[in-house]
Structure 1
Amino acid sequence: MNSTQTLARESGQAGAAGEGATLALDIHGLHAWYGESHVLHGVDLQVPVGQTVCLLGRNGAGRTSTLRAIMGLTSARSGAVRVFGQDLAKVAPHRVAGLGVGYCPEERGIFASLSTRENLLLPPLLRTGFEGLSLQEIDALFPNLKERARSPGSRLSGGEQQMLALARILRTGARLLLLDEISEGLAPVIVQALGRAIASLRDRGFSILLVEQNFHFSARLADSFYVMERGRIVEHFSREQLPGKRERLEQLLGV
């Protein structure tokens, strides 16, 4: 059974598992703090299984803090965070990935002294119940990485490093991807390649929460959108509702 078939099977099982199981990520009333700074104020957000959801907002709106709170990387948090129906309240941060969560932060974490292939093989495989993408599938998704397989991490361009950071997650067995500003500062041709990869991953059954400031990049990819401002969700709409939200988005994002 290949990776696409396995993901489809797992998504079907999740859909039959009971209340909340059709959601890859379900957040209700999420508050988070860094020390005494209260950065998230009652965030509600959902990512259905097999869909791509985009969290939009200006810098400092709280989007990255939302991802970090999901992973348990803020000083404190309250509210409900469930991944495939499992409550994360008592899950240690280092065990969240084992539930099938792949977090790709802005800091790509590429090891300069290791080759591209060595970086790719570094993370351990997760026991999530299905296989991650094979090396052959990753090579097909990111041909640049195949060509640069023996190049040290220090010789990769910023776009290639971003591809590698994402590719590392895909082979582990993660099925919920938390992607933080993966298009930021990259050349248009690389942004287009990443967009094609994300669309392909959605077609394979991955669930994706895409944090972006680049609305034009995410507009073609997401099934639904949330807009955050000052640690709160201020808008939520589907792709079908997008034409009627242009004026409001210009106010919130300046797009």
Structure 2
Amino acid sequence: MNQMAHQNIEGDARAATVAPQGTPALTIAGLQAWYGESHILHGVDLTVNRGEVVTLLGRNGAGRTTTLRAIMGLTGRRTGSIRIGERETIGLPTHKIAHCGVGYCPEERGIFSSLSCEENLILPPLVGAGKDAMPIDEIYTMFPNLKERRASQGTRLSGGEQQMLAVARILRTGANLLLLDEISEGLAPVIVQTLARMILTLKARGYTIVMVEQNFRFAAPLADRFYVMEHGGIVEHFEASELERKMPVLHDLLGV
């Protein structure tokens, strides 16, 4: 992202309003997770308040994606505690976790290639207590590219359009806790800017967002707080206001 675009997004971030914070949207305590015999997460602790954007930073293999997958029940064995709102979900299957109002956008996107863009949008079931799905017309206002390509098959969408569709599909379900995994990876700067504006819009509407991001320039102006992971655990946690002071630490941990 060029410097001017980065500055514009920072200005938008400062102008965005945050929903009142009460009960945390997500609380993780002592989370351990395995893939088969491989022990990946080693006691992860984090809290995300309602209406916040929180970013998980770390090198590849640090455990960030596994943390999102563990929240959704997509790893092997899990121990510890994962509370969505006030509900303990560590023992729930994935479909019941989703119905707590959680939407997961994996790195691989999972677009149905044989369906049109609009068919992909209307396919997912409603989740969450409020059943508050974002209307199609609002999604098309947020992502004009999808409106233009609404009749196109998933295989004919560009990488950026597929990423927009993957996120938009979650918004159609009514989920209010969004788990976004590397949504800016490999995309053109203009698409990255569109996704940044989307995150600011959703934050202003009170959505809670947890992002895994390798693109520090994309994540830095958007997040309220940061967690840094290394070797399956949290090694740093700080507020956005502390970002400048923490840059030497981030340089050592991430090479940013």
TM-score (norm 2): 0.91
Q: How does 1:162-173 map to 2 (within 5 A)?
A: 162-173=163-174
Can you give the 5+ residue segments of structure 2 that lack an aligned partner in the other structure? 1-16
Report runs of 4+ in structure 1 exceeding 4 Å deviation.
none
- Bigger Cα displacement from structure 2, 183-192 vs 87-96: 87-96
2:115 matched to which residue of 1? 114
The match for 2:29 is 28
CA shift, 1:130, in A, is 4.2
| Letter paired with 1:224 | R
Amino acid paired to 2:190 = V
Q: Given the alignment of the two structures, is residue 79 of structure 1 paired with residue 63 of structure 2, yes or no? A: no
The residue type equivalent to 2:216 in the other structure is F
When the two structures are superposed, what TM-score results if normalisation uses the length of structure 1?
0.91
Identity %: 64
Supply the distance in 2 between the matched residues of 1:126 and 1:29 (Cα, whole angstroms).
27
Q: Distance in 1 between matches of 2:180 and 2:126?
A: 19
Secondary structure in structure 2 of the residue aligned to 1:234? strand
3-state SS of paired residue (2:201): helix
**Does 1:208 find its partner at 2:209?**
yes
Q: Where do residues 165-244 of structure 1 align in structure 2 (5 Å cutoff)?
A: 165-244=166-245
| Conservation of the 8 A alpha-carbon contact between 2:131 and 2:173 | no
Q: How far apart, in 1, do the equivalents of 2:65 and 2:155 lie?
A: 26
CA distance in 2, matches of 1:52, 1:127: 19
Supply the AA of the counterpart residue of 2:164: M
Question: What letter is aligned with 2:226?
Answer: F
- Write the letter of the residue equivalent to 2:228: V
Q: Secondary structure at the match of 1:23?
A: coil
Q: 1:100 touches 1:175 (CA, 8 Å); kept in 2? A: yes
- Counterpart-to-counterpart distance in 1, 2:49 and 2:128: 22
CA contact under 8 A between 2:35 and 2:75: conserved in structure 1? yes
**1:92 match:** 93
Give the conservation status (yes or no) of the 8 Å contact 1:57–1:228.
Answer: yes
Deviations 1:77-134 (A, max 9, x none): 1111000110002311221110000000011111111110001111011252241211
Displacement, 1:136?
Answer: 1.2
Deviation at 1:197, TM superposition (A): 0.3
- Name the counterpart of 1:101: 102
The CA distance in 2 between the partners of 1:125 and 1:42, in whole Å, is 32
Aligned to 1:245, what secondary structure does the other structure show?
A: helix
Question: Which residue pairs with 1:18 in the alignment?
Answer: none
SS in 2 for 1:171: helix
Equivalence for 1:48 = 49
Q: Over the residues paired in the alignment, what is the CA RMSD in angstroms?
A: 1.4
